[in-house]
Structures are given as structure tokens and as C-alpha cells.
Amino acid sequence: MSILLIEVVPQGIIFGADRNITRMGSREDQSVEYLGQYQRTKVLRWPKRKALAGYVGAGQIGGEPTDEWLYEFIGDNRDFTSIATLAESLRSQVERQRSLDEGDSKARLLIIMLAGFEKRNDVWVPIIREVANYHKLHTHIYDNVTKKFRIGDEVPFSKENLSDVALRECLREAASRYAPFWIHQGQDLGTFNLLEAFLKDAFKLLCKTHPDHTLPQNLSDWERQVRMSILTYAAYFQAYRETNEQLVGGGVDTICIPWPE
């Protein structure tokens, strides 16, 4: 498991994730054995910044590291027509391959997020889709993990009854309060929510009182904020969890795509 943080800001979309991959094995008595950590990237970008992808969960698909499998998927789907069709293609391929990988074994959680911009009513809007095999979500855990993958819409802007034109202005107003729209996937979501809220409040105060800190002005500034959030969460795991429970850590990768003009 790990942490994947997504932010939608007036300047674009940002994906950030830690790098830890946990190796686990099975003993003869069927119990699980911790085999250590290694690091891989968990966020990827299409050529020409057409879309972003990121994942948490199972570290392999088809015998390959999940990031390498996703790189191949990107190569095979360089020219897609929409995020919706891309998500369906990803869902069917992942479901088929993970079913072969797991056989009769219990399904392992895998969540892959896709994001990009599409024109609606001649206005560019952010689109985010989730391809995942959990079917219930509680405060701290994902539940009902099966071999069936589904597609979810992860941008609930429609709940605010916003027009496409008003959407970006809403994001600007939220960013001015240091409260950008964000979603995340990963380990112990409730704890991350608390730490993220604390960090946002702390940095909002810092921007008001410290001469060297200002509110983020561009996409690079917001990327730094995403990096800080993930590093803080990784520090929590390092300080409070045993070595075999440090599922978040190993460094941070961030990628972004700018809002088309």
C-alpha cells in the first residue's frame, strides 16, 4: 500500500505518491511474511501531457512491476478519445490480467487513478476516473475487495451545481484560501485526512506570518505543497510504525499537467 494524492488547482492537475513497495511472502502455514521494501514510481504521465495515471495497491501486474505495465498501457493508448474510454480499456485489461495473476488466491487491492482535461461546452474541465476493485470504503480501510474492477467518477463538482465556466473560478477561490480541491487513495485514509488538515492550516498561517512564504502562485508551487504533504505522512509512518509496517515512505514523485489555455 502507499499514498496517492491528487490536487486540482486553477493552474492544472497534480499527482503525487510515495515510492515504497512492500514485499510480502507466504509461509508454509499460510501466514504472511514481511520481506522488505523497495522503491518504484507510482505516478506516470502520457506523452504531450495528455493525461496522468497513478496507483496504490498491488505492485505487480502480469509479472511486471505495476508502473512498467502502466507504461506499456500508455504506449498502447497514446491517442485516446476520452478519459472515459481510456478508463474502460484500462478496467477490462487490468481485470483480466489480475484475475490470471491471482488465480484461486484472494484478490489484492489495486486502485488506479486517471486524470486529464476535456472540452465541455467549449470550456476545458478536469476529468478524473478511478479504476478499482474495492466496493466499500470505510474511514480507515477499503472493504469488499474482489476480482471485479469498477470505474468511479472522482470529481464531484456537479454536486455544487457549477457551470463549466464557473468551475475554474471556484478553484481559484479555494486556492486563495489554501484549500485546493484534493482527493487521495492509500493507507489509513482517516489519519492522512487529519494530518493534511493540520498541515494546510499550519502553512496558511506560515504564509501570513513568514516573509519567505507566500500562497502558491503556480503549478510548481502547488507541486511542492503536494510533496510536503506526502513527506509528512511518510514521517508519521517512520516515527510511529514498526519497520514491517512502514507502508508509506521511500521518497516522493510528483507530476502534473497544466490547464489548457
**What domains appear along the chain, each with residue ranges and CATH number?**
3-258 (3.60.20)
| pLDDT tier at 220, thresholds 50, 70, 90 | very high
pTM across the whole model: 0.92
10 Å Cβ neighbour count for 261? 4
d(CA 129, CA 30): 35
Collapsing DSSP to helix, strand or coil, 184 comes out as: strand
The yes-or-no verdict on residue 148 having pLDDT over 90 is yes
Please, what is the average pLDDT of the chain?
89
The CA-atom distances, in angstroms, between 54 and each of 145, 204, 238 are 19, 27, 23
Position 58 scores a pLDDT of 93
The yes-or-no verdict on residue 22 having pLDDT over 50 is yes
| pLDDT tier at 261, thresholds 50, 70, 90 | confident
Position 24 scores a pLDDT of 65
Interhelix angle 219-240/189-209, rounded to 10 degrees, is 130
Position 245 scores a pLDDT of 83
Position 164 scores a pLDDT of 67
> What percentage of the chain exceeds 90 in pLDDT?
70
Position 157 scores a pLDDT of 54
| pLDDT tier at 158, thresholds 50, 70, 90 | very low
Range 62-77 average pLDDT: 97
Give the model confidence (pLDDT) of 228-252 as tens digits: 999 999 999 999 988 888 889 999 9
| pLDDT tier at 29, thresholds 50, 70, 90 | low
Collapsing DSSP to helix, strand or coil, 72 comes out as: helix
The yes-or-no verdict on residue 8 having pLDDT over 80 is yes
Range 31-48 average pLDDT: 84
Position 38 scores a pLDDT of 87
The CA-atom distances, in angstroms, between 110 and each of 56, 94, 147, 242 are 6, 9, 10, 24
Position 25 scores a pLDDT of 64
